[in-house]
Amino acid sequence: MALLTHAQQRQVEEAVTRAEQHTDAEIVTVLAPRADDYSYIPLLWASLIALLVPALAHFFIGGIQIYSLLMLQWASFVFLSLIFRIPAITTRLIPPRVRHWRASNLARRQFLEQKLHHTQDRTGVLIFVSEAERYVEILVDEGISRHLDDSDWGSIVSDFTRRVGLGHTAEGFIACIEASAQLLAQHIPKTQPRNQLPNRLVML
């Protein structure tokens, strides 16, 4: 999974700085390579498949001694455990609902860890991306949610998700920030100069 270069990170930071010149919202961007290491997934799948090996070997080959079946089962488990640890394969073994659930949990933890709930007038906005899961979410504090519904962010999130899927995460961040800035400037315009939270992209 390619990480953003320093130049791309600066571009994201500059986009946040520009956005906050027109709104009281405090925007924080967070990028995670993946929401979880899913260390149990390779072992789970390898175990399930290895359990089927004796039956499959007996059905297709037949006449195999018990000792040979056990060795074949053990070898299958070890081999599959190693193969399934390859990140690109691991990700495909995880149901989308599980991947999105883990990514959503991480987004909510980051909202708290980045202190978005402590801003003046509760105007924190988190733009969160988990690349491996191709997951994008925008979380806002109650000072924003009083003026904007979740549905208002739908098209912005969908466009960003599409860009992440294409591997254009940096461009997606900038487009998302610019689109969000237009929406926020209409409903939460700038009333006073302030910058309570860092504008830099948080890389997990």
Distance CA 95, CA 90 (A): 10
Between 104 and 98, residue with greater pLDDT: 104
- What residues contact 164, with CB distance under 8 A and at least 6 apart? 129, 131, 134, 135, 136, 172
Task: Between 2 and 126, name the one with better pLDDT.
Answer: 126
Q: Where are the beta strands (DSSP E) in the chain?
A: 26-32, 124-130, 135-140, 202-203
In angstroms, the Cα distances linking 158 to 15, 73, 163, 164 are 19, 44, 9, 10
Arithmetic mean of pLDDT, 158-187:
94
pLDDT band at residue 62 using 50, 70 and 90 as cut-offs: low
Question: Quick one: what percent of the chain has pLDDT higher than 70?
Answer: 96
- Nearest CA to 107 out of 138, 133, 132 is that of 138
Q: How many CA atoms lie within 13 A of 171 on its CB side?
A: 8
Average pLDDT, the chain: 88
Buried b (16+ CB within 10 A) or exposed e, 119-133: bebbbbbbbbbbbbb
What's residue 1's pLDDT? 45
129, β-bridge pairs:
31, 136
User: Rounded distance, CA 204 to CA 201, Å?
Assistant: 10
| Residue whose entry in the numeric block shows the structure tokens 């499959």 | 56
pLDDT band at 87 (very low <50, low <70, confident <90, very high): confident
Based on its alpha-carbon atoms, the radius of gyration of the chain, rounded to whole angstroms, reads 23
| Residue labelled with tokens 């549905």 | 151
Predicted confidence band at 63 (pLDDT cuts at 50, 70, 90)? low
The whole-number average pLDDT for the span 12-23 is 95
What domains can be seen in the chain, in order of their start residue?
Answer: 6-36+96-203 (3.10.310.50), 40-93 (no CATH)
pLDDT at 169: 93
- Of the chain, the percentage scoring pLDDT greater than 90 comes to 52
Q: Which residue has better confidence, 69 or 99?
A: 99
pLDDT over 60 at 108, yes or no: yes
Residue 39, pLDDT score: 74
Cβ-count burial of 26 within 10 angstroms (0-12 exposed, 13-18 middle, 19+ buried)?
buried
150 exposed, middle or buried (CB, 10 Å; 0-12, 13-18, 19+)? exposed
The three-class DSSP label of residue 64 is coil
For residue 71, what pLDDT is reported? 82
2 pLDDT higher than 60? no
Q: What is the mean pLDDT of residues 170-192?
A: 94
CA gap 164, 107 in Å, rounded: 16
Judge whether residue 137 has pLDDT over 50: yes
**How confident is the model over 148-157, as pLDDT tens digits?**
988 899 999 9
pLDDT of residue 154: 93
In this predicted model, which residue has the larger pLDDT, 133 or 2? 133
Q: Are the C-beta atoms of 46 and 80 separated by less than 8 Å? A: yes
pLDDT tier at 182, thresholds 50, 70, 90:
very high
